[in-house]
Structure 1
Amino acid sequence: MLPRFADIFQQGNRWLNWLEKQPEGSVRPVVIESVTKIMACGTTLMGYTQWCCSSPDCCHTKKVCFRCKSRSCPHCG
């Protein structure tokens, strides 16, 4: 299975380590916002809805995570 695009940023805190090394103000806020959305996309950080089985004999539930809907996101854009 191929890694998610966000996994590349998160592995070993690559994104945070890179961001800390940049001079103050050199990374535009929109870039930080886009990468943050990409990393949270499809996770519970974006929120989710929970689906429950309608059968009274079943207690099966499933969480469906929301997407970021960002144009920069490889899943949403």
Structure 2
Amino acid sequence: MTRSGGDFQPRPLKRLFTANQCWTSFLDAGGLRDIEVEAVTKMLACGTRILGVKEYNCDKPECPHVRYVTNSCGSRACPSCGKKATDLWIATQLNRLPDCDWVHLVFTLPDTLWPVFESNRWLLNDVCRLAVENLLYAGSDAQWNENSR
């Protein structure tokens, strides 16, 4: 099947994971979190018969045409299913953010702390929340607030 003069290659990320037993090698090596395994497993099953198939028939009894459509995984980590959720999230954020050239902050942790967060990932939520609270506190001071001058 061709599309726009080239070969049609559906779900290229799926091919990347399945080529040369790549995903199987990662699983065998261990060290992956359950949520990572679940996300990739859903993505690999997306659009296959594993998740089920819908059958669509023509309304005319004499028409022999049947179309089968495979179900999607609905995972936000899936490049096919997650795009819609990502686009909606971006639209929401653009409506919430001020109209300015740059809205970008980078919060970094020293590499010596990464082992702590690797085994306690839930702590990252607390650290990010504290970083935001500190930025909001510093930004509320009139000396730091450009809009109040």
Answer yes or no: same fold by TM over 0.5.
yes
Q: Does 1:6 align with 2:6?
A: no
Q: 1:15 aligns with which of 8, 23, 34?
A: 23
1:41 aligns with 2:46: yes
Measured after TM superposition, the shift of residue 21 of structure 1 is 2.0
Q: Given the alignment, which residue of 30, 34, 54 partners 1:29?
A: 34
Aligned-CA RMSD value: 1.4
Listed as ranges, the gaps of 5+ residues in structure 1 are none
Q: Answer with 1 or 2: which has the greater Rg.
A: 2
Gaps of 5+ in 2: 1-7, 83-149
Distance 2:62 2:25 in 1: 49
Q: 1 CA distance for matches of 2:59 and 2:10? A: 34
Structure of higher RCO (CA pairs closer than 8 Å, 6+ residues apart): 1
Q: How does 1:46-65 map to 2 (within 5 A)?
A: 46-65=51-70
> Equivalents in 1 of 2:52, 2:22: separation in Å?
24
CA distance in 2: counterparts of 1:50 and 1:70, whole angstroms: 22
Runs of 4+ in 1 over 4 A off after TM superposition: none
1:27-75 per-residue CA deviation (whole Å, 9 max, x = no partner) reads 1001000000000111111112100112222221111111111110111
SS at match of 1:62: strand
Q: TM-score, normalised by structure 1?
A: 0.84
TM-score normalised by structure 2 residue count: 0.46
Larger % of helix: which?
Answer: 2
Give distance in 2, aligned partners of 1:3 and 1:59: 27
